[in-house]
Amino acid sequence: MKSVLITGGAGFIGSHLTRLFVTKYPEYHIVNLDKLTYAGNLENLRDIETAPNYSFVKGDICDAELLSSLFDQYDFTGVLHCAAESHVDRSITDPLAFVRTNVMGTVTLLHTVKDKWKDKMEGRIFYHISTDEVYGTLGDEGFFTEETAYDPRSPYSASKASSDHFVRAFYHTYHLPVKISNCSNNYGPYHFPEKLIPLCIHNIINNKPLPIYGKGENVRDWLFVVDHVRAIDTIFHQGKIGETYNIGGHNEWTNIALVKELCVQIDAKLGRAPGTSEQLITYVKDRAGHDLRYAIDATKLKDELDWMPSLQFEEGLSKTIDWYLANTAWLENVTSGAYREYYEDMYGKA
Ligand code: NAD
Ligand code: DAU
């Protein structure tokens, strides 16, 4: 049986990726290494936690000793590296936490893999999951391609860009068999409610203000998380070593239009009068250094590996809202405790 390491498997994307690999590939033993920060939650994996081909290890990717012993124990043939600090606003208040995990953690992991795979790189894959934010920001036109020059502008995107550079450096210098993907904004079940879509769903349900940064004119390209992990699966198994693939939804929305769409859908689902939830929209101070627009050109992935998003956005959004409405206990659980302090720091006690 092949062993595959997933880092950050208890987070939003990591949990969907872990579920996909555990259920689709019974011939792989999946080891999920996660530090369980505020963003990591084993509730996200309840349905697969007793699967015979799944193990969880609580630990930090910065812990070289732990990594070394795990590689000795499992002799991983694949690594899917998802663990990261992922929220831009948190990176503005605490950049060092992002350097520690996203840069130091990634390099510690790369270093271990290089040592453990020395003389046996053939058939092995180190897959680094990255973001479109490394490319910086777009004006009204154009798309990010795999050739777009890096121009990160937040501490988060700078740390992810740095980690991408290290992954490529290990490919060129030590011939580590790497693959990288850079994806646009994900949405879907188990998304931590500090990010725009789950935050607004939570606040609409609870009749709380919907904080829109600046004028709400910033544009993001949204992709259903299950489509993202389908793309990762495709690239992991069929992509070329040393290559980068952009993943996106061709689905651009201004923040204000997106939040209004959420209001319309949730009002209908909760039997509220049309227009009720839109009244919760509140314009607040803009994010520092707020990138205007992200938009991915995913032509390479479509042409070379035949990947396309499977869901229309309105359908994906509807499924996502239904999931949150059916899982209020999950939502209440993750919005208690430390989250409340974070929320009050960011948005006040509203
Ligand atoms: P998330 O914040 O929901 O989850 C991150 C996970 O990593 C958590 O389970 C956390 O406990 C774990 N973690 C954090 N620091 C760790 C450490 N030092 N050691 C071990 N585990 C640690 O993040 P996400 O939104 O699921 O993003 C996952 C990856 O995908 C990140 O690398 C992110 O940059 C990338 N990405 C995210 C998006 C998006 O829209 N969310 C889009 C493109 C790329
Ligand atoms: O593009 C991929 C990236 O998408 C990932 O790499 C990041 O990990 C992920 O967090 C996401 O980053 P964004 O900053 O785009 O996502 P966020 O949900 O934080 O914000 C989306 C947009 O909504 C952005 O323009 C800021 C705005 N916003 C966000 C919040 C939390 C608001 O207007 N109000 C809010 O309260």
Instruction: Give me the pLDDT at residue 349, please.
Output: 62
Q: Interior CA angle at 176 toward 60 and 157, to 5°?
A: 55
Measured in residues, the chain has a length of: 350
Classified as helix, coil or strand, 45 is helix
Write the CB contacts of 178 (distance below 8 Å, at least 6 apart in sequence): 125, 126, 127, 128, 167, 168, 170, 171, 241, 242
Note the pLDDT of residue 67.
Answer: 98
Place of tokens 């509203």: 350
Q: 322-342: per-residue pLDDT in tens?
A: 999 999 999 988 998 777 788
Q: Closest Cα partner for 48 from 67, 25, 69, 70? A: 25
The CATH number of the domain covering residues in 2-187+224-249+294-311: 3.40.50.720
Around ligand 1, the residues with Cβ closer than 6 Å are 7-8, 10-14, 34-37, 39-40, 60-62, 82-86, 101, 105, 129, 131, 160, 183, 185-186, 192
Average pLDDT over residues 12-21: 98
In contact, 194 and 326? CB cutoff 8 Å: no
pLDDT at 343: 79
pLDDT, the chain, mean: 97
* Rounded Cα–Cα distance for residues 187 and 307 (Å): 18
Atom of ligand 1 nearest to the CA of 185: 40
Cβ atoms of 240 and 195 within 8 Å: the answer is: no
The set of catalytic residues is 132-133, 156
Do 218 and 152 contact (CB within 8 A), yes or no? no
The confidence band for 120, taking pLDDT boundaries of 50, 70 and 90, is very high
Buried b or exposed e, range 60-85, using 16+ CB within 10 angstroms? bbbbeebbeebbeebebbbbbbbbbb
* Ligand 2 centroid from CA 328, angstroms: 22
Percentage above 70 pLDDT, the chain? 99
- Ligand nearest to C-alpha 255: 2
What's the whole-number mean pLDDT along residues 28-48?
Answer: 96
Q: Which tokens hold the place of 192?
A: 């931590």
Residues 6+ apart with CB under 8 A from 272: 266
Count of alpha carbons within 13 angstroms of residue 61, beta-carbon side: 33
